[in-house]
Structure 1
Amino acid sequence: MGVQTADLCDIHREKVQIADPVFKQFGKVRSFSGPIHTVKVFEDNVLVKKALQNIPEGSVLVVDGGGSRKCALLGDNLAHIAVTRQLSGIVVYGCIRDSAQINGMDIGIFAIGTNPLKSNKEGKGQENIPVQFAGVNIEPGYHLYADEDGILISENQLL
């Protein structure tokens, strides 16, 4: 990424939203940034997989899972799709599974926790809509910057 979130806050404080520190970091990539694509689902990851297969290279997938801790919305198979397609990273307001395998993969993922149970497969949810969680408003096309210090959201690209 080059510039860290702390530096971006110092330079662009009035242009960024800072997500509440409710996330844990997974994967080998410790910092990432890119244009945002969103899905909003609840305990169902069909649209998560679809987005991972279709959003442009270099993008960040933001998954509003409603903060549910009852099942995982992403595991190693879906993380592998993100790696293969060279996505920048993934933020999940929900849980992931297969964290040991994901921690060995070349992807950056933020999630609120882990759960070994897989999600439902009904295809319910919404794509490419504004979402709100962790104290930030996130819209498709905004830019996300993430590293060990946290997650920033900006309407415009800062780098």
Structure 2
Amino acid sequence: MTIATADLFDERGEALDSLALQLHDLGGQVAFDGAIRTVRCHRDNALVKEILATPGDGAVLVVDGGGSLESALVGDLIAASAVRNGWAGIIVHGAVRDRAALATLPLGVKALGSNPRKSAKDGRGEVDVTVVIAGVSFRPGAHVWADADGILVER
């Protein structure tokens, strides 16, 4: 059972960072948490697809797309792969697509917005590196909690 982020912050505030950036809840699961894995990429989702096709073991993939809304980094096929492979959620500092389909999947998906344009598939980017989004560090292996109130990350 996922604990509410507000309650968690009340309990452990000093040990947590709160992401002030407002992301949309786009998956079928609003509340989710897990160990962090990361991908840093810009308008190229090949690494996102590759990582989500591996066993997730309840982890959350944080995708730093640099805040670009020019093309989607996650769509319904990649998200369905994440579900099949046991991922708890995906947090995208960028765009997704196939919003209606994403909303039906038992997966947490938070993103800046959507764009029907697909991204490149060249495999450019970095995997399992610390990414900083709106001043908050997402370190591989640290824990992240997300719900309708927002996102908390252990320091």
User: In the superposition, relative to structure 1, how do residues 123 and 88 fare at CA in structure 2: closer, same or farther (>3 Å)?
Assistant: same
Correspondence for 1:64: 64
Residue 55 (structure 1) shift: 4.7
TM-score of the aligned structures, taking structure 2 as reference length: 0.97
Report if the CA contact (8 A) 1:22-1:134 is conserved.
no
Correspondence for 2:105: 105
Correspondence for 1:36: 36
> Structure 1 unaligned runs (5+)?
none
CA deviations on 1:100-138 (whole Å, 9 max, x unpaired) are: 011111111000000000001111000010000122011
SS at match of 2:137: strand
SS at match of 1:49: helix
Report if the CA contact (8 A) 2:22-2:150 is conserved.
no
SS at match of 1:37: strand
Correspondence for 2:91: 91
RMSD: 1.0
Residue 59 (structure 1) shift: 0.5
> Structure 2 unaligned runs (5+)?
none
CA–CA separation in structure 1 for the residues paired with 2:54 and 2:22: 28
SS at match of 1:123: coil
Report if the CA contact (8 A) 1:62-1:92 is conserved.
yes
- Listed as ranges, the matches of 1:70-89 within 5 Å are 70-89=70-89
User: In the superposition, relative to structure 1, how do residues 20 and 92 fare at CA in structure 2: closer, same or farther (>3 Å)?
Assistant: same
CA–CA separation in structure 1 for the residues paired with 2:22 and 2:8: 20
Report if the CA contact (8 A) 2:16-2:152 is conserved.
yes
Residue 28 (structure 1) shift: 1.3
CA deviations on 1:40-98 (whole Å, 9 max, x unpaired) are: 00000000011101253200000000100100000000000111112111000000000
- Listed as ranges, the matches of 1:1-159 within 5 Å are 1-155=1-155
Deviates more, 1:51-60 or 1:37-46: 51-60
